[in-house]
Structure 1
Amino acid sequence: MKRRLILIMSLYFASLSIFYAQNKSLPSVWNLEQCLQYAVSNNITVKKAELSKNTSELNYKQSKNNRLPSLSANLSGSMTNGTSIDPITGSFQDEFYTSSNASINSNITLYNGSKVNNTIIQNKLLVSQNDLYVQQAANNIILSITEAYVQALYYQEGIEIAKNSAKSTEELLKQGEVKFKNGALSRSELADLESQNATNQYNIVTAQTQYSQQILVLKQLLELEPEDDFQIEIPHSSDVGNYLIPDKQSIYSKAIDKLPDTKIYDVAKEINEKDLDIAKAGFLPTVSLSAGLSTGFSSTRENINFGRQLDGNKSEQLSLSVSIPIFSKFQNKTNIALAKIKIQESELDKLQANKDLYKKVETAWLNAVTNQNENVASKTLRDTSRLSYDLAIKKYEFGGSTTTDLLVSQTNYLNAEQKYLQTKYMGILYQQLLQYYQGNPIKIQ
């Protein structure tokens, strides 16, 4: 009992050490590249797609093995009492006797309308198709991770803006309290400053909550455990409004060439064409070759020993059979018609996939072009609003404007800063989308 307890405790602490070693290998601060690599390696959908690919590879291997001849051996023994025919000697017996039989048989299909070969080709195509599904699953998680990561960066910078705004308002509130004591500021104006300060403090909490929620989304996409420490790396990204936008048609051509989205349906059509060939083989004959070797022993032949009986009772068989289909209740005709329908469906699926991909490329391209124009305008608005706010502060300090005017100027600046921030990170996302559709790696500097 004591030894069992020691063993259980040893296994428990060993599992703990493995757990902590695994978690220790995970970074606490993740950049986008680390997120993408980890997600592709650990995402459940990607893993399931890889298992489907493994299944198709096994089916492909087995279909090649189906060209080999089959081989089987049989052993049997019996005891008989009463009138019967000895299965070894063929004579009538009216006594108790024992007999045994051994045989080995082989069969191979020589011709079946190339059904075996077409099945091999079809299974090889299924391997290629499942490989494309793995790529597609990986691409989908890459896009989801990228979007969530950029959104987290946006919320993180929003925290800094909220903090800077709160710090500015705190300074104004301190000045306002001094002015109120000196009688240079009314209680109503001081209340406005206090209200704005409380609002800015609330905005910090809201921004932090949004960031935490987005980090949780990203963490869940990465399939991380709840106890795993996770923070994102903040890149030193500058303005992204001047990135090069290639021609829309050029992006689409590269997407067709490098992404699996439409290639899947090209392979699907080839698979269905092989289904048609296999269905046509149903009208053709099947030629098979069989061979066998058998021997046996009977206790009724007491004068002949076991070894001599096995040698003397040997028989060899070789047979060639031809199976010719005559009437299959129109099943072969139906199978051909169904295969042709599947080919037409795969052609339509390919057309739809092309349209969907072009729509995605066109949308990303248009968003990128629009974003570049918006980025220039939002940056100008932010800079001018910042200048106007700075001038309003100075004017307020010298008593040239009211508290209301100052707070309106601050609100305008914050709105302009938020608009620029949104435009900036949407630009980062659109830039990465264009890189993705061109088959280039996603990377935020």
Structure 2
Amino acid sequence: MRIVLILCIIVISFTAVAQAPLTLSFKEAVKLGLQNNLALNQAKNNLVTSTVAKNSSMLQLAPSVNIQGNAGRNDGNSFNQQEGQVINGVLDFVGANLNASMPLFNGMSTITTFKQTALQNDAQLNLVKRTDQDVITNVANQFLRCLLDQRLAIIQQKNLETQQQQYDQIREQVLAGSRPEVDLYNQDYQVKNAELLLLRSRNTLRNNKTILATTLQIDPLVSFELEEPAWDVNVADADVLSIEQLNETALENRSDLESAKATEKANRFGFYSAKGTYLPSINAFLQYGSRYNYIHPNPEENFFPNNRSFNDQFLTDNTQLTYGVSFTIPIFGGFQTRTNVVRSKMNYENAKLTTANTEIQVKSSVMLAYQNYRDARSNYEATNAQLKAAEISYNFEKERYSLGISDIVALTQATQNYTQAQGDFESARYTLMFQKILISYATGTLKFEDIP
């Protein structure tokens, strides 16, 4: 019996441990987001493709080399190089050629194409970096929302407990005849209202945690808790520069702006490459090859050819070296070249517009982040003062009601004000806590390694 009891305790302990909710810190959440985000992983895959395209275009500057070969049989008339005459019979042949070609001039299209693909690779690299920052910011916003909902649920739980305590006190006073019965009904409503507010806050927390789990690609059925960041909101001012310095930092570090600039330069070289097709192209070529022939004898016609050996034919007799220069002069191609040139020019013009627009967006986002930080700082200080005043008012009103010099309406209003002030303060505190991340995102300096 004792052994069975011990086994039951062990099983219950393991079950409790297995069902314990996962505690998720902000940095762990960001790490999961960076590992599982769809857009970021797709951008990284596209970066691999652009890197291969860059390397391929660079190697286009070198000669292209290939080997061609053939083997077959000819039954009928054929010219035999060994006999120096046309024969009628069965001829087996094997041949191979080494071919090499190299562009000498093609309107600089090869060089400009290489520069275009190199800049496209830089643009994709910057896009990956900015997408990385997008993921961090998105996770931060959702994590902040869940933290606030979690805190508001605690406030509503405490409010319910306070309302229930007041209800119990008023009930005793009503039974003693020192309070009117209407106060008990009024307080009962406040208790039921507090229960409803707690239920709503928990539903909101549950829904937002599901959204966060979807973003992090966590199984929504797995329970997890959010760890409170141990960040001091009072030291944030030391790291925030002036708006001019923030703008300068953003223009130097914003990856989306660098990506737009690289794309603009890439399209410019693409335009130059397209214009190069108007010019003649000159290529050097070289071909080295050999061939082996075997003529089958025909006893019926008393035909017994003298076939030389494979080494004599393939390595000595039939070797051939051909080299030279070829050129192509475009004359008329149905305006296809002109169409490509105009299309590439418009892509370049559109890229310039995108760069200018991105620069304006960068400055605007920096301005908004700076203003939001200042507003968040002011809001935090105001809600902090409001919370202290609401707490004092609630304590005084509670004491006044206990002494019988105040009514239930005033106490209810003071309680609601105190609860609202707590929620406003927590909202302002969490908002200010994450403003440094938003400023780093606006200036393009946000990194996973810098997250405390």
Q: Select 2:180's aligned residue among 182, 186, 190.
A: 186
> Cα distance 1:236–1:309, how it changes in 2: closer, same or farther (>3 A)?
closer
Residue aligning to 2:116 = 122
Taking the TM superposition and a 5 Å limit, the aligned residue runs for 1:163-312 are: 163-237=157-231, 239-240=233-234, 243-244=237-238, 245-288=240-283, 289-299=285-295, 302-307=305-310, 308-310=312-314, 311-312=316-317
SS at match of 2:72: strand
Q: In the aligned structure 1, how far is the partner of 2:188 from the partner of 2:377?
A: 38
Taking the TM superposition and a 5 Å limit, the aligned residue runs for 1:349-364 are: 349-364=354-369
Q: In the aligned structure 2, how far is the partner of 1:92 from the partner of 1:45?
A: 68
Residue aligning to 1:76 = 71
- How far off its partner does 1:319 sit? 3.2
> Cα distance 1:44–1:404, how it changes in 2: closer, same or farther (>3 A)?
same
> Cα distance 1:39–1:323, how it changes in 2: closer, same or farther (>3 A)?
same
RMSD: 2.3
Query: For 1:408-429, what per-residue CA distance to the aligned partner results, in whole angstroms no more than 9, with x for missing partners?
Result: 1111222222222222222223
Residue aligning to 2:95 = 102
Letter in 2 for 1:155: D
Q: How many residues are treated as equivalent by the alignment?
A: 417
SS at match of 1:415: helix
Moved more, 400-409 or 320-329: 320-329
Gap runs ≥5 in structure 2 = 1-17, 297-303
Q: In the aligned structure 2, how far is the partner of 1:217 from the partner of 1:159?
A: 18
Query: For 1:64-95, what per-residue CA distance to the aligned partner results, in whole angstroms no more than 9, with x for missing partners?
Result: 333232211212211304xx23364563334x
> Cα distance 1:74–1:146, how it changes in 2: closer, same or farther (>3 A)?
same
Query: For 1:239-261, what per-residue CA distance to the aligned partner results, in whole angstroms no more than 9, with x for missing partners?
Result: 55973442222212211211212
Q: Select 1:32's aligned residue among 10, 19, 26.
A: 26
Q: In the aligned structure 1, how far is the partner of 2:362 from the partner of 2:24?
A: 31
- How far off its partner does 1:215 sit? 1.6
Q: In the aligned structure 2, how far is the partner of 1:241 from the partner of 1:389?
A: 31
SS at match of 1:243: helix
Letter in 1 for 2:91: T
- How far off its partner does 1:440 sit? 4.5
Residue aligning to 1:322 = 327
Query: For 1:266-319, what per-residue CA distance to the aligned partner results, in whole angstroms no more than 9, with x for missing partners?
Result: 101110111122112212222221323122314067223332343323333223
SS at match of 1:77: strand
Letter in 2 for 1:38: L
> Cα distance 1:387–1:87, how it changes in 2: closer, same or farther (>3 A)?
farther
Q: In the aligned structure 2, how far is the partner of 1:296 from the partner of 1:267?
A: 55
Gap runs ≥5 in structure 1 = 1-23
Contact 1:71 1:107 in 2 (8 A): yes
Q: In the aligned structure 2, how far is the partner of 1:373 from the partner of 1:405?
A: 29
Pair 1:41 & 2:35 matched: yes
Contact 2:277 2:337 in 1 (8 A): yes
Contact 1:179 1:185 in 2 (8 A): yes
Contact 2:281 2:329 in 1 (8 A): yes
Percent identity between matched residues is 16
Residue aligning to 1:20 = none
Contact 1:241 1:376 in 2 (8 A): no
SS at match of 1:319: strand
Residue aligning to 2:337 = 332
Q: In the aligned structure 2, how far is the partner of 1:338 from the partner of 1:75?
A: 42
- How far off its partner does 1:143 sit? 0.8
Q: In the aligned structure 2, how far is the partner of 1:314 from the partner of 1:75?
A: 15
SS at match of 1:304: coil
Contact 1:243 1:431 in 2 (8 A): no
- How far off its partner does 1:222 sit? 1.0
TM-score w.r.t. length of structure 2:
0.86
SS at match of 1:85: strand
Pair 1:419 & 2:452 matched: no
Letter in 2 for 1:437: A
Letter in 2 for 1:433: L
Letter in 1 for 2:58: K
Residue aligning to 1:86 = 79
> Cα distance 1:440–1:298, how it changes in 2: closer, same or farther (>3 A)?
closer
> Cα distance 1:185–1:277, how it changes in 2: closer, same or farther (>3 A)?
same
- How far off its partner does 1:360 sit? 1.6
> Cα distance 1:327–1:193, how it changes in 2: closer, same or farther (>3 A)?
same
- How far off its partner does 1:441 sit? 4.4
Residue aligning to 1:430 = 435
Query: For 1:341-369, what per-residue CA distance to the aligned partner results, in whole angstroms no more than 9, with x for missing partners?
Result: 22221111011111122222211211221
- How far off its partner does 1:238 sit? 5.1
Contact 1:70 1:107 in 2 (8 A): yes
Contact 1:113 1:281 in 2 (8 A): yes
Query: For 1:161-182, what per-residue CA distance to the aligned partner results, in whole angstroms no more than 9, with x for missing partners?
Result: 1122112111111111101111
Moved more, 226-235 or 192-201: 226-235
Q: Select 2:413's aligned residue among 390, 408, 414.
A: 408
Q: In the aligned structure 2, how far is the partner of 1:90 from the partner of 1:229?
A: 89
